[in-house]
Amino acid sequence: MATSSPQTGGTGAWDRLSGLLGRGPGGYAFLSLYLLITSLTLLLNPRTSLLTDVIFILFLLLLLIVYRTRVHIGFKVALGVIALGVVLPYFGTLNPYYIDVATQAGIYVALALGLNVVVGFAGLLDLGYVAFYAVGAYIWSIFSTPQIGAMISGAVPVPNVWFYGFILVGLMIGGAFGVLLGLPVLRLRGDYLAIVTLGFGEVIRVLAENLDKPINITNGAQGIKDIARPPIFFSGALRAIGLRQLDDNQLYQFFFYFMVLVIVLITVMIVGRLKNSRIGRAWTAIREDETAAIAQGIPLVRMKLMAFGVGASFAGTMGVVFAAKQLFINPPTFDLLTSISILSMVILGGLGNIPGVILGAVLVTLLNLQILPRIAEILRSAKSAGVPIPQSFDPTQYQRLLFGLLLILMMIFRPEGILPEDRRRQELHEDEDEPSEESAGATA
Amino acid sequence: MAAEAKAPIRRVSSQRTLAELLRVIFLPLGQLFVFTVGSAAVLGVIVVVLAFLLSRSDPKIFETAVAILPQVIIDGIVRGFLFATIALGYTMVYGVLEFINFAHGEIFMVGGFVGAGVAYLLNQWGVMSTMPALLFVIIAVLLGMTVSGLLAMGTERIAYRPLRNAPRLVPLISAIGMSLVLQDAVRMIATNTPLGFNARFETPDFGKAFQLASIPLGARSIPVLIGPKAVIFIVAALLMLLALNYLVNATRLGKAIRAVAQDRATASLMGINVNQIISLTFLIGGALGGAAGVLFGMNIGTVNPYMGFIPGIKAFTAAVLGGIGNITGAMVGGIVLGFLEAFVASYLSLFTGGAFSGASYADIAAFSILILILIFRPEGLLGEATTQKV
């Protein structure tokens, strides 16, 4: 992505680009044309292939470009609605694989936004974030399947229409767990906090793996299958308006796609409002300097707990949706690597900056679900063509390497992320022209 | 930066008599001994009392609990020395840089793989069976120490040094990344060589386990065993502690390390090459981790690329438990944590009638200890209280 030097923070390239295409009639024409071309190429060539992947990414890139250009807000919204609300779902009927990727990306966007509240806004490094996601997922899984009977004898699964209520339950339980984790670790400084939250995440996973006895709560390592999906009340209406004969699975894909889209929009709105509120400023103050924040009269305990609670509640909500979408969950779904990948989304995009985090989440998800499998495919065909590639090398199996390199490189070369938050960019580059190596203690 | 209060050892006298020197070097052994015996005794008493209370419902519990107690204590010591040797690396680096080297568990794992690789090669060449066991241990450990130490130094140079003046979380995230990269890099190497993902660690024949005692339980008797590999592990760990103590407290290099830990800027004004000392700290810590990896792999018999992570976190727990930045503290923390885990792993399922599997809940016990320690005594067992400066 942005390749300019860190000092200018990428704005130079963007300024030039948006100067050319981002304003006036040129901007409107460019954006409309861009949308038209990418949509048409997608719709005319819906087969799963490398080319479609690239176009799909270009198509999603449109949203970023729209966000960065200075056109009328109504036009931006219209483009967004057409792209995400019409073109993408229609493309989904032609090739269900991509809409699934989009849904997955949406889930990760919401998770990354939630983690961003904790890490980006309040500056509390949480390495066990996936635990809250797991809690949400297990709540719905247990209550919607006969698993509940194994836990409380005689209990029957709740009717699947309760799913909508359980989204709120997931939100509340996730938030409660966030506060619960926050309470003991409030006094800890950044790096200790990271280890403790990591431990907490592992504890939740180990519990999920082992709580099949003495009372069978989570069904242990086998996981829970046949999780109920909510009833889709609009299927009749959709068929009535003459949409192609869609089977239930496709309907559910649409349902979850739009549901995730709505949740992401709500999340963006809430997080954006929070950021610019009194609470958001308090979080920033805590992140910058805890002691100074206390001196300013900021209630440290309440604010930190709120950051944990808010962040965790998004994960709890998404957990419920994820369980219903996936139909099957087991403990390894919620391992440390998932936490780390969400963290790398936040860091790649830009800690604290909402559009940046969304970008990071989409990029990492695409990388994970599309680009790596595609590279693997290319390597396989190259191998069968006789290129000497080691037998057991499969790029999809090297996510750790990828995330690890991503984290290291981002930290060394661009710690503020691709789309940085202004304040953080200044903070990270304030001592740029000071001699860096020897003055460590002197600057303290 | 509250570095000055967390220096490994506070005493800074320029001239020491031989007696003082010996005291500084061997005092930690005494502390270690006290804590080993103490925690074994406390946990043993707790277990016996619990078993006695439970034996009203099932009289066999008491008998079994007491019969396996010596073996559990031996397991605890072995486990404890494992955590202790890894924790030394964490604590060295933390003492000097106030930085949690997240990738240290992977340095440990690399040591294990080097050992497995050496064993594989020796086996291929056919010299393994004719080789004295002790010579094999020395070769494997030295090679493991070299590779791990250099690797730790390299990771510092690549991933941590450019970030030394950045906000605290930045190098930590970089270290997390380094940990993941090392895991998969080793996996890539291992799966593309004859070693494989689960690499077998061949060893020469060490002879039979020593039988320390035999406890009669009903008709049969339960032997209390300690394997020769475990003995080697414990002896090596003690030697490492002594060597490290000597290095830090009685050499010029050690004095430089302590100076850098206290105040980097002033140390550099006194003519100490701070970067070099930090590199050496990583080298030493990494070498200790590598040695632990080789010994651990030898003990277990197989190594895999992900084996370092959980012991790494637990060793960090041990370092915090003992008081991070404090060398003896790391050993003591490791021993206490090892005992605790061994006891939970062995007795939890016995006492709950098999309802909870002890091995899995041992992990939870370790993490709970970490949280409890950080809440109630963040300075650790042997550390002293520090306040955070503005």
Asked if A415's CB is within 8 angstroms of B168's CB, the reply is: no
Same domain, A66 and A169: no
- Residue A140 and residue A253 share a domain: yes
Interface residue of B169, B268, B360 to substitute, partner A, most A CBs within 10 Å: B169
H and E: helices and strands count for chain B: 12, 4
Q: Does residue A175 lie within any of the structural domains?
A: yes
Provide the pLDDT confidence category of residue A23 given band limits of 50, 70 and 90: low
Task: Kindly list the residues from chain A whose CB atom is less than 8 angstroms away from the CB atom of residue B167.
Answer: 427-428
- Tell me which residue has tokens 């727990």: B317
DSSP code for B285: H
A103 with A84: CB under 8 angstroms?
A: no
pLDDT for A392:
62
Q: Count CB-CB contacts under 10 A for residue A195.
A: 25
Distance from CA of B172 to the nearest CA of A (A): 7
Candidates A190, A203, A404; nearest CB to B364: A203
Q: Residue B32 is encoded by which pair of tokens?
A: 């270690």
Same structural domain, A291 and A154: yes
| Per-residue pLDDT reduced to its tens digit, B41-95 | 888 888 888 888 887 777 777 777 888 888 888 889 888 998 998 998 888 888 8
- Domain count along chain A: 2
Q: Which of A333, A359, A380 is the last residue of a domain?
A: A333
Residue A207 sits in the same domain as residue A66? no
Q: Which run of H or E residues covers position A322?
A: helix A300-326
The whole-angstrom separation of Cα A199 and Cα B312 is 12
Task: Choose the final residue of a domain: A33, A59, A94.
Answer: A94
- Residue A373: pLDDT above 60? yes
Say if residue B306 is exposed, middle or buried (CB neighbours under 10 Å; 0-12, 13-18, 19+): middle
Bridge partner list, B220: B217
Q: What is the mean pLDDT of chain A?
A: 82
Task: Please check whether residue B105 is in contact with residue B176, taking contact to mean a CB–CB distance below 8 angstroms.
Answer: no
> Does the CB of A439 have a partner CB in chain B at under 8 Å?
yes
User: A19 and A161: one domain?
Assistant: no
Residue A444 domain-assigned? no
β-bridge partners, B222: B215
Is residue A341 helix, strand or coil? Answer: helix
A148, A284: one domain: yes
Paired sense of beta strands B302-303 and B210-217, if any = unpaired
Is residue A187 included in any domain, yes or no? yes
**B193–chain A Cβ distance below 8 A for any pair:** no
Q: Are residues A263 and A317 in the same domain?
A: yes
- Alpha carbon separation from A295 to A186, A261, A282, A374, B367 (Å, rounded): 17, 41, 12, 54, 33
Residue in chain A closest to B367 (alpha carbons) equals: A199
Spell out the residues 6+ positions from residue B304 whose beta carbon is closer than 8 angstroms to its own. B190, B197, B198, B199
Higher-confidence residue of B135 and A423: namely B135
Residues A147 and A155: their CA atoms lie apart, in Å, by 9
Q: Are residues A26 and A65 in the same domain?
A: yes
* Bond prior to A214 in cis (omega within 30° of 0): yes
Name B216's bridge partners: B221
DSSP annotation of B193 reads S
Residue pLDDT, tens place only, B317-361: 888 888 887 888 888 899 999 998 888 888 887 777 766 777 778
* A438/B361 Cβ within 8 A: no
**Which stretches in chain B have pLDDT values below 50?**
1-7, 13, 387-390
| Partner residues linked to A224 by β-bridges | A329
Has residue A369 got a pLDDT over 80?
yes
Which of A:185-244 have CB within 8 Å of B? 185, 187-192, 194-196, 198-200, 202-203, 206-207, 209-210, 213-214
Minimal C-alpha gap between B354 and chain A (Å): 9
Q: pLDDT-derived band of residue A8, with 50, 70 and 90 as boundaries?
A: very low
> Is the pLDDT assigned to residue A441 strictly greater than 70?
no
Residues A174 and A285 in one domain: yes
Of A196, A415, A440, the CB nearest to B265: A440
Residue A305 confidence (pLDDT): 92
* Backbone phi and psi for residue A178, each to the nearest 5 degrees, phi listed first: -60, -45
Reply yes or no on whether the pLDDT at A320 is more than 80. yes
Among residues 5-64 of chain B, which lie with CB inside 8 Å of chain A?
A: none
pLDDT category of residue A129 using cuts at 50, 70 and 90: very high
A151-194 residue pLDDT tens: 777 777 888 788 888 999 999 999 999 998 888 777 777 678 88
Are both A250 and A329 inside the same structural domain?
yes
Tokens of A244: 């192609």
- Residue-level length of chain B: 390
What domains can be seen in chain B, in order of their start residue?
A: 31-376 (1.10.3470)
User: Which of A288, A400, A428 to substitute to test the interface with B, most B CBs within 10 Å?
Assistant: A400
Q: A185 to chain B: which residues are within 8 Å by CB?
A: 371, 374-375
pLDDT band at A17 (very low <50, low <70, confident <90, very high): low
| Burial label, A285 (beta-carbon count in 10 A; 0-12, 13-18, 19+) | buried
Structure tokens at B234: 């414990």
In this structure, is residue A395 part of a structural domain?
no
Is the CB of residue A343 less than 8 Å away from at least one CB of chain B? yes
Q: What is the mean pLDDT of residues A360-370?
A: 88
Angle at A335 between CA A330 and CA A336, to 5 degrees: 175
Residue A163 lies in a domain: yes
Distance from CA of A191 to the nearest CA of B (A): 7
In terms of domains, do A24 and A164 share one?
no
Q: What is the pLDDT of residue A15?
A: 64
Which of the four pLDDT bands, split at 50, 70 and 90, describes residue A242? low
The CA angle B187-B190-B196, to the nearest 5 degrees, is 110
Q: Determine the 3-state secondary structure of A436 from DSSP.
A: coil
CA distances from A258 to A58, A81, A243 (A): 21, 12, 16
Q: What's the rounded Cα separation, in Å, for the pair B388 and B366?
A: 26
Of B192, B268, B370, the CB nearest to A390: B192
Cα(A118)–Cα(A312) distance, rounded to whole angstroms? Answer: 9
- Average pLDDT on A387-398 reads 71
Q: Nearest Cβ partner of A196 from B1, B176, B370?
A: B370
Shortest alpha-carbon distance between residue B180 and chain A (Å): 5
Chain B nearest CA to A25, separation (Å):
43
State whether A84 and A186 are in the same domain: no
A176 part of contact set with chain B, CB < 8 Å:
no
State the ipTM, two decimals: 0.81
Q: Give the residue-averaged pLDDT of A240-264.
A: 80
Nearest to A174 by CA among A308, A322, A271: A308
Size (chain A), residues? 444
Within a domain: A410: no
- Which pLDDT score is estimated for A433? 47
CB contact under 8 A, A412 and B371: no
In a domain, A341, yes or no: no
Q: Which domain holds residue A123?
A: 99-232+245-333
* B263 in contact with chain A, both atoms CB, cutoff 8 A: yes
Nearest to A188 among B168, B266, B374 (CB): B374
Q: Say if residues B126 and B240 touch (Cβ distance below 8 Å).
A: no
- Is A252 contained in some domain? yes
Q: What is the CA radius of gyration of chain B?
A: 22
Interchain contact, A195 vs B181, CB within 8 Å: no
Half-sphere exposure of A314 (CA within 13 A, CB side): 30
DSSP letters, A8-24, are TTTHHHHHHHHHHHSSH
Chain A residue numbers with beta carbons less than 8 Å from the beta carbon of B265 are 438-442
Last residue of a domain, one of A70, A94, A118: A94
Per-residue model confidence as pLDDT tens digits over A273-317: 999 999 999 999 998 888 899 898 999 889 999 999 999 999 999
